[in-house]
Amino acid sequence: HRSFVIADIPGLIEGAADGAGLGTRFLKHLARTSLLLHLIDVLPPEGSEAPVTSARKIVAELEKYSKELSTRPRWLVLNKTDLLPDDQREQVCSEIVKALDWNGPVFEISAISKQGTRELMFAIMENIEQEREAEVAETSDKQIDDEL
C-alpha cells in the first residue's frame, strides 16, 4: 500500500528557463517535486547530442530557473544499458559519471527490459518515506519548542 507519483518532463531544452518552448511550464512542474531523476540514454539516437552535453544543458537550465530547484536532490539514471556489450557497460557508465562529476546516487537501467527498474523504484520509495519521517520529526520538534 505504498505509492508515489513520477512526472516525466520531456522537452526541457536549452533556453527553457528564459521561456523557450514549453520550458517554464516544465520547470514549474519540477519545482513541485522532492526528487529529480536525471535520465540519460547511454546510447542516444544517432545524430543527437552526447549524453554528457545534454545533461549539462539541463543542469544549466535548472540553475538559471531556480537556485532552490538546482540544489534539489538529483539521482542519475543511466538508461538503455542493455544496448551496451557487457564488457563495455561499466566503462561507458563510469565515463558518463566522471564527465558529469556526479557525486550522488547512480542507477543503471533498461526501461524496455525493466532491468534495474525495480531497484530504482524501491530506492525512490525509501527516499520518499525517509523524507516524510524527517518532516514529521521536524514538525514534532517545532511543536515541542513552541510549547516550551
Cell numbers for 23: 520550458
Q: What burial class does residue 140 get, using C-beta atoms within 10 Å of its C-beta: 0-12 exposed, 13-18 middle, 19+ buried? A: exposed
| pLDDT at residue 12, as a whole number | 57
DSSP reduced 3-state for 74: strand
pTM of the complete model: 0.80
The pairs formed by 57-65 with CB atoms below 8 angstroms and a separation of 24 or more are 57/13, 57/14, 58/12, 60/14, 61/12, 61/13, 61/14, 61/15, 61/16, 61/17, 61/23, 61/27, 62/17, 62/27, 62/30, 62/36, 64/17, 64/18, 65/16, 65/17, 65/24, 65/27
Distance CA 71, CA 146 (A): 29
More confident residue, 1 or 77: 77
| pLDDT at residue 7, as a whole number | 67
DSSP reduced 3-state for 78: strand
Mean pLDDT of the chain: 82
Which tens digits make up the pLDDT trace of 91-137? 999 999 999 999 999 999 999 999 999 999 999 999 999 988 888 88
Structure letter (DSSP) for residue 84: S
